[in-house]
Structure 1
Amino acid sequence: MKQENRGLNFKSLDDVIEEVRRLAKGGYNKKGNWDLGQMCSHLADWALYPIDGYPSAPAPIRAVLALIRITSGKKQLKKVLENRGFGKGSPTMKESVPSDTLDEEAQIQRLADALHRLDQHPGPFHASPLFGDLDRSTWIEMNLIHAEHHLAYLEPKF
Structure 2
Amino acid sequence: MKSILKLKTMDDIEKELSIILSCEKKQKSDITLSQIFDFLAESIELSIQGIGSTSKRSTINKLLGKYKFAKLISSGHYTKTNQIPGFPPRDLGDPESAQLRLKTSLTAFRLHSGPFADHPVFGDLDKKQWEKIHGILASFLFGYIQLFGDEKLRFAKDRESKKDRNLSDKKQNHHHQKKKEDRGDSKPSGHNSRKWKNKKKSSYKGNKNQGGGQK
TM-score bucket (shorter structure): 0.7 to 0.9
Aligned to 1:92: 85
Aligned to 2:202: none
TM-score (norm 1): 0.80
Separation in 2 of the partners of 1:35 and 1:23? 13
Separation in 2 of the partners of 1:21 and 1:14? 11
Contact 1:39–1:150 (8 Å) recurs in 2? yes
Aligned to 1:143: 134
Shift of 1:72: 1.5
- The code of the aligned residue for 2:25 comes to Y
Structure 1 unmatched ranges of 5 or more: none
- 19-28 vs 122-131, greater mean Cα deviation: 19-28
- 34-43 vs 143-152, greater mean Cα deviation: 34-43
Shift of 1:32: 2.8
Among 30, 46, 69, which residue is 2:43 paired with?
Answer: 46
Give a deviation string over 1:107-137, Cα, whole Å, max 9, x none: 2121111011112211111111211111110
- The alpha-carbon distance between structure 1 residues 12 and 28, as it changes in their structure 2 partners (threshold 3 A), is same
Shift of 1:68: 7.1
Residues 9-158 of structure 1: matches in 2 within 5 Å?
Answer: 9-53=6-50, 69-90=61-82, 91-93=84-86, 97-102=89-94, 104-158=95-149
TM-score (norm 2): 0.60
- The code of the aligned residue for 1:121 comes to H
Contact 2:23–2:147 (8 Å) recurs in 1? yes
Shift of 1:157: 1.7
Shift of 1:100: 4.5
Quick one: percent identity of the two aligned structures? 24
- The alpha-carbon distance between structure 1 residues 52 and 134, as it changes in their structure 2 partners (threshold 3 A), is same
- The alpha-carbon distance between structure 1 residues 67 and 99, as it changes in their structure 2 partners (threshold 3 A), is farther
- The alpha-carbon distance between structure 1 residues 128 and 114, as it changes in their structure 2 partners (threshold 3 A), is same
Greater relative CO (CA pairs within 8 A, separation 6+): 1
Separation in 2 of the partners of 1:88 and 1:67? 27
Aligned to 2:31, the other structure's residue is in SS state: coil
Aligned to 2:107, the other structure's residue is in SS state: helix
Aligned to 2:2: 4
Separation in 1 of the partners of 2:133 and 2:15? 18
Contact 2:36–2:142 (8 Å) recurs in 1? yes
- The alpha-carbon distance between structure 1 residues 34 and 66, as it changes in their structure 2 partners (threshold 3 A), is farther
Contact 1:23–1:156 (8 Å) recurs in 2? yes
